[in-house]
Amino acid sequence: MLLLKFIGWVFGIDKQISVYVFSIFLANNAIGVVLVATAAAMAYLTEFSFVNYLWLVLATVATAFLYLFYRAILISRSIPGFRLYYLFLYFCTLEIVPLILIIKLTIW
């Protein structure tokens, strides 16, 4: 978040970065609410299997990422000279690759 704020200050796009940071906080809070409810359901409901809870969590995280990608596209439209290629590079390097590395490290 601090890096995003610094980049916004350097390039003079403070407003757009603030909106995107708010979107990140909103998505993180929504994920947290769903994960707390899922953890409570796992503790008290035994009818569902672990796989069903895992799919719910994965769907929630995927939905949050799609929301962030959608918001980033809308925000980037208001920045003159910004290309979707840069947005794709940002998501690949700072959003998707760390998740893939975490998954790969936890499986092995």
Res 10: pLDDT: 92
Determine whether 48 is exposed, middle or buried from the number of CB atoms within 10 Å of its CB (0-12, 13-18, 19+).
Answer: exposed
The reply to whether 55 falls in a domain is yes
Strand runs labelled E in the chain:
none
Res 8: pLDDT: 87
The reply to whether 104 falls in a domain is no
Res 103: pLDDT: 84
Number of domains in the chain: 1
* Residue 37 tokens, joined: 């409810």
Res 21: pLDDT: 92
The reply to whether 87 falls in a domain is no
Domain hosting residue 18, numbered range: 2-82
Res 102: pLDDT: 87
**Separation between Cα atoms, residue 14 and residue 11, nearest integer Å:** 8
The reply to whether 52 falls in a domain is yes
pLDDT of 5 strictly over 80 = yes
pLDDT of 48 strictly over 80 = no
Comparing 46 with 23, which gets the higher pLDDT?
23
Res 89: pLDDT: 86
Determine whether 20 is exposed, middle or buried from the number of CB atoms within 10 Å of its CB (0-12, 13-18, 19+).
Answer: buried
The reply to whether 93 falls in a domain is no
pTM of this prediction? 0.70
100 phi, psi to nearest 5 deg:
-65, -40
* Residue 108 tokens, joined: 């092995």
**Do 84 and 73 contact (CB within 8 A), yes or no?**
yes
Average pLDDT of the chain, as a whole number: 87
The reply to whether 90 falls in a domain is no
Res 63: pLDDT: 92
The reply to whether 69 falls in a domain is yes
The reply to whether 67 falls in a domain is yes
